[in-house]
Structures are given as structure tokens and as C-alpha cells.
Amino acid sequence: MNLRDELALAVAVVGTMVGAGFASGQELVRFFVTLGPPAPAAVVLMAMLLTLATAQVRRLALKWHTNSYGDFLVVLLGKWVKPADLATGTFLFGGLAIMLAGSGALVKEHFGLAPVIGVLACGLLAFLASLGKGRGLLLVNALLVPFMIIIITAAALAAVFSRPEPFYNLSPPPPVGLISNNWIINACLYVTYNMVGITVLLTSLPSSCKGVLGAGTGGLFLGILAYLLVNALGRLSPAGLQSEIPLLYLVAGLQPGLMHAYILALWLALVTTAASNLYGLATRLGQMPFLTTWQAALAILVLAFPLAGWGFINLISWIYPFFGYLGLFLLLLAVTCRF
């Protein structure tokens, strides 16, 4: 076992999942804080499922010698592969739009600039990171994810130690869109929609990287970080929970000195996830004879820009849970698969 490869894969898993929705706190507010007192139990269940699912998907990818998520779906689903392939591509596209929208919300809320500036900046960096047959993507994750995680963790710890009791025990905000008010369903949905992007990563890496332990470690770390962040967000006022970037609201109110560092960490988070989604989708479409990977990436970005204008909260509240319901079946198959 090569510990360096395992660690690299764990970092890549974290970089793929910690996008604008996670690092802004918006996903965690919608799926967990809205539950009220059951929120901690839901996060613990989510962490266990995520750890199991990431390790199992990587194990199957190595066993089946996959080179892409398309290869993985062929073995897993057989005749159902085409609709699953379409659903996966649609999710990656929707996730890319959410990252772009998050960048627009960030520059608007913090800098007072037009959201389109943030959308274009994120799109450009995601495009550059998606080039080079994945080398740019791995480089971006290796350089940016450790710094990003340190800043986000510091912000959450500052919030937890600043206020002893969470506010979600009093009056949590109601669920929005397709998100339920059941803690078990929300935990499962959170895992299944996040596993789409992670599966694209885990099934595309060469078998020489191994990574079953690394994949599981990345999933476990994400679960622990989510637990910490949910406890921090539970200390926000109702006004803070309704903001587009709840963690930024939290940091600005409790630890202003961390605010600029957190803004940078958040932007890095959405860029790394946007790049992962764009790379996965462009690689899949780039297999067509009339498209190269960079042409596919450019076309995808042009189509994603209008969707990003729908709004950060709206996209998270509808797109993620919708694909979470679709992904429940795939997660069950992957976790229980023995062949």
C-alpha cells in the first residue's frame, strides 16, 4: 500500500465534494440545520454512509478496471446504463451551474460587484484546471484543498467556541424545495447526490493509484468536517441562516479577522468542484468523434452560464435533492454489490 497515493486520493475526494454549497454552509443549512434537534444524528448517519460508499465505489472501480464513470455504470447497471449516464451528465452540469452561481453570490455579497463577474472568473479557472487529461485537476486539488480545509475548519471552531449553545434547538428554518424534514431521508439524499461527482473521480483514476483506504478516509474526514460545520451553523440567528452564504455571515460576526481568508477558501472550494464537474462531463462528451475535450468544456460552460443566473439557493434546494432521490438506487447497488 502506497500511503502517498492513498493520501492524494483522500485529498481529491475532499476537493471534489467541498464545493460552494458545502463551504458556504448553504447545503448544510438546507439538509441538516433545518431539521432542528435531529441534525447531529443526521450528520453522523451521513458520515457513516459516505465513508462506506466512497470506499466501496473505489473497490469496485479497481476490481472492474474502469477508466471512466461510463465503464463503471455499464457493469453496475447493464441495460440501464444509458439513462444513468444521461442522469449523471445532467447532475454534473447542474453542479457546475451551482458552483458558478456560488461565485456570483460571493462577489455580489462581499465585494458589491455584478454576479456575472464571479461567474466568469470561476468558469475561466475551471476551464483551465480541466485541461491536460486531468493533470490540471489533480494539481489544483493538491495545491488548494489543504489550505481551504484549514481555513474552513478554523472558522467553524471559532464559531463553536464563541457560542456554547446552538440556535437550531430553538427555531430552525423550514425546509425548501425538494428537501424533506426527515433526518434519515436527508442524510441519505446528501450522500447520494454528492456521490455522483465522487464516483466520477473514483472510477476515472488509474488502478495504479489504488485508493480504497484513501477514498474511505476522504469520506470520513468530510463527515467529521460536516458535523463541525453544522454545529457552528446551528449557532446562527434566523437572519444569518437565510443569507446566501451562511458561513461568511457567521465568520464576519464572530471572527472578522478570518473573513478574508475564509472568502478565499470558499472561492477555492467552488473552483475545485467546478473543475471536477467540468472535467468529468467534458471527458465523457469528448469521446464523441466531432468534439475534443477542450471544445466540449467550452460548450458546457457557455450552456451553464444562463442556468447559474437562477440563483444559488434555488439551485441547491431543487437540483441536489432531485438527483439525491435518483441516486438512492445507485448507492444501494454499489454498497451491496458483491460481484
Distance CA 285, CA 303 (A): 14
**Angle CA 34–164–241, to nearest 5:** 30
CA dist 68 and 201 (Å) reads: 8
224-252 average pLDDT score: 84
The CB density around residue 98, as the number of other CB atoms within 10 Å, is 30
Best-predicted range by mean pLDDT (75-79, 216-220, 291-295):
216-220
Determine the Cα–Cα distance for residues 67 and 129; give it in Å rounded to an integer. 20
Residue 140's pLDDT is what? 67
State yes or no: pLDDT of 134 exceeds 60.
no
Residue 95 is part of a domain; what is its CATH number? 1.10.4160.10
Residue 36: its pLDDT value, please? 86
Where do runs of H (alpha helix) occur along the chain?
Answer: 3-17, 20-24, 26-31, 39-64, 69-77, 81-106, 115-129, 135-162, 183-204, 212-233, 238-241, 246-254, 259-285, 293-308, 312-336
pLDDT confidence of residue 55: 94
Alpha-carbon distance of 324 to 327, in angstroms, equals: 5
Buried b (16+ CB within 10 A) or exposed e, 297-329: bbebbeebbebbeeebbebbbbbbbbbbebbbe
Q: Which pLDDT does position 58 carry in this prediction? A: 92
Q: How confident is the model at residue 310 (pLDDT cuts 50, 70, 90)?
A: confident
Segment 162-182 shows an average pLDDT of 67
Provide the pLDDT for residue 295.
85
C-alpha separations of 67 from 32, 53, 70, 202, 219 in Å: 35, 19, 8, 9, 21
Q: Quote the CA–CA distance of 304 and 99 in Å, as a whole number.
A: 10
pLDDT at 302 over 70: yes
Q: Over the stretch 8-34, which tens digit does the pLDDT of each residue have?
A: 888 888 877 876 568 778 889 989 988
The set of cell numbers assigned to 289 is: 468523434
The total number of structural domains in the chain stands at 1
Residue 296 above 80 pLDDT? yes
- Asked if 212 contacts 58 with a C-beta cutoff of 8 angstroms, the reply is yes
First to last CA, the chain: 23
pLDDT per residue over 90-108, tens digit each? 878 888 888 898 888 888 8
Range of the domain at 271: 3-336
31-52 pLDDT, tens digit per residue, is 998 888 899 999 999 999 999 9
pLDDT in tens, 270-292: 887 888 788 878 877 776 777 77
> What percent of the chain has a predicted confidence (pLDDT) above 70?
84
Q: How far apart are CA 70 and CA 1, in angstroms?
A: 27
- Mean pLDDT across the stretch 102-121? 86
